[in-house]
Chain A
Amino acid sequence: MAGIVGYGVYIPYYRIKVEEIAKVWGDDPRAISRGLVVQEKSVPSPDEDTATISVEAARNSLKRAKINPQKIGAIYVGSESHPYAVKPTATIVADAVAATPELTAADLEFACKAGTAGIQVCMGLVDSDAIEYGLAIGADTAQGAPSDALEYTASAGGAAYIIGKGNTLADFEGTYSFTTDTPDFYRREGKPYPRHGGRFTGEPAYFKHVLSAAKGLFGKMGTDASDYDHVVFHQPNGKFYIRAARKLGFKEDQYKTGLLTPYIGNTYSGATPLGLAAVLDIAQAGERIMAVSYGSGAGSDAFSITVNDEIEQKRDLAPKVQELVDNKCYVDYAVYAKFKGKLRMAGLTQH
């Protein structure tokens, strides 16, 4: 079965603290931080978007994979913030990593789980020998309307995975998906900010799909929580992630490494792929990982992964998640508003 030949991540340099956002809207920052389990979030520079984040992550994944990019037969970029409504991000990535022209490429959208959907597509193409390597990316510059609860978490970042059969650093044992029509969170065409159903995003949406996908994978693989050394879930906030982990019987030692939202916010399509990368950064050969994404609308993809010896040769070839989490510079709300294009500026392009 296909495996991970290389992985790479990217997190923007700028951060804003929950306190700084709460000060503007008159909220209690301690209540927000405690309730959402979020301290700060990443902020993209005005010259960063899903395409630039995807390219940086893809280039880092190639440093670990050590393959000729011309052997990449498919590129899928999963995001809900593609720079163009019509014109693929994936072609920009393909040219920027010198993978063109003999490949297929497309953009995927499934709220926060389009990145893992791309991994599944690449697994299928690799397992059927249609391609030698596939590149799947989950990346976002997430939007949260000013004063909306989402503004405390909607952040930016991404991760890229090169899927193949040779020289893998970790191998897929199985995948299981759970999907229904659940309108918990959506953004209509042309609208700048998404809408969400408040508490409806919890039990009937995130928890139903994440827990069902995890249990489905347990059933398919004949495993339970005790069989995994690490677990990572989609993380719209820290609270949902921890509650899902505990409901499935996971202990803190198993779920803590992949939980990044408290430090960089919710990177949407980047969230589960980034959490998985943080686990791969520290995992030992032979260890087992479960990863479960969630995308509103709604669905979850669950993966069972085993790390192999190759991880030791590849781990240090590209920046690790923790290095990028620690490399930061704080901005205040005014600079954040300017960077995110929330200010009306005469005669200027709004990003």
Chain B
Amino acid sequence: MKDIVRGWRHIPQRYNLIGSKCNHCGAVYFPVRVICPECRRKGKLEEIKLSGKGKIHTYSVIHTPTGDFKLISPYVVAIIELEEGTKITSQIVDSDGDNIKIGDEVELVFRKIREEGEDGVISYGYKFKLKK
């Protein structure tokens, strides 16, 4: 039940990349923050829907996965710099790492994240793919 509630609570950020923007310094954060670490009490954070467009800041190809990830091995995990300025860690889908380089443009996709066993809840959310 704990996993169900935790997953449900994260739906806005996982489905639609809802982050935070400080109305004082303009900094954008993902995931959502309550307080801007730069402005503290001077700043007020507002919700922002991130565009889902960005570039690969750095990446790693995973060849020795654990658990369920064996089904998709080898797979790519990247730190992506979104066009709003914040960075996000995500899998790059439909790639085994051969066609990827730092600086490549990527865009948001909607994929399954994990299943809680054969009869548990299915979690969905953001991943990224190379922009064509």
Contact B118 A349 (CB under 8 A): yes
CB of B9 within 8 Å of the partner chain: no
B 56-95 contacts with A by CB, 8 A: 67-68, 70-72, 93-94
Cα-based distance from A329 to B93 in the complex (angstroms): 12
A95 within 8 A of B: yes
User: Across the interface, do B124 and A348 meet the contact criterion of CB distance under 8 Å?
Assistant: no
Decide if the interface of chain B is mainly helix, strand, loop or mixed: mixed
Query: Would you give the 0/1 interface string for B76-118, flagging 1 where the beta carbon is closer than 8 Å to chain A?
Result: 0000000000000000011000000000000001111111011
| A338 on interface, CB distance cutoff 8 Å | yes
Expressed in whole angstroms, the Cα–Cα distance for A168 and B95 within the complex equals 37
Q: Are A95 and B71 in contact (CB-based, < 8 A)?
A: no
Cβ-defined contact, B132 with A350, below 8 A? no
Tell me if A's interface is mostly helix, strand, loop or mixed: loop
Partner of A339, one of B68, B71, B109, B115: B71
Residue of A nearest to B91 (CB): A47
The answer to whether A47 and B15 touch across the interface, beta carbons within 8 angstroms, is: no
- Nearest-CB distance from A328 to chain B (Å)? 10
CA distance A329 to B16 in the complex (A): 28
Question: Complex Cα distance A49/B122, Å?
Answer: 11
A52 within 8 A of B: yes
Contact of A83 (CB < 8 Å), options: B111, B117, B122: B122
Inter-chain CA distance A329–B124, complex, in Å, is 24
Whether B68 lies near A52 (C-beta < 8 A) is: no
Distance to closest chain A CB from B68 (angstroms): 5
Q: Does A64 contact B (CB under 8 A)?
A: no
CB distance from A55 to the nearest CB of B (A): 4
Residues of chain A within 8 A of B112, CB atoms compared: 46-49, 51-52
Bound together, the chains give a CA A218 to CA B112 distance in angstroms of: 43
Is B72 a contact of A45 with CB atoms below 8 Å? Answer: yes
| Residue of A with least CB distance to B16 | A98
Which residues from chain A contact B11 at a C-beta distance below 8 Å? 95
Beta-carbon contact of B124 and A52 below 8 Å = yes
Also in contact, A45 and B94, with CB within 8 A (given A96-B15, A350-B118, A351-B115) = yes
Task: Provide 26 A-B residue pairs closer than 8 Å at the C-beta atoms, listed in order of the A residue.
Answer: A45-B72, A45-B93, A45-B111, A46-B71, A47-B111, A47-B112, A47-B113, A47-B127, A51-B112, A51-B122, A52-B111, A52-B124, A55-B110, A55-B124, A56-B109, A59-B110, A84-B122, A95-B15, A96-B16, A96-B124, A98-B49, A339-B71, A348-B67, A348-B70, A349-B115, A351-B115
Counting from the closest, the 9 A-B pairs by CB-CB distance are A55-B110, A13-B94, A46-B71, A47-B112, A47-B111, A96-B15, A349-B115, A52-B110, A349-B68
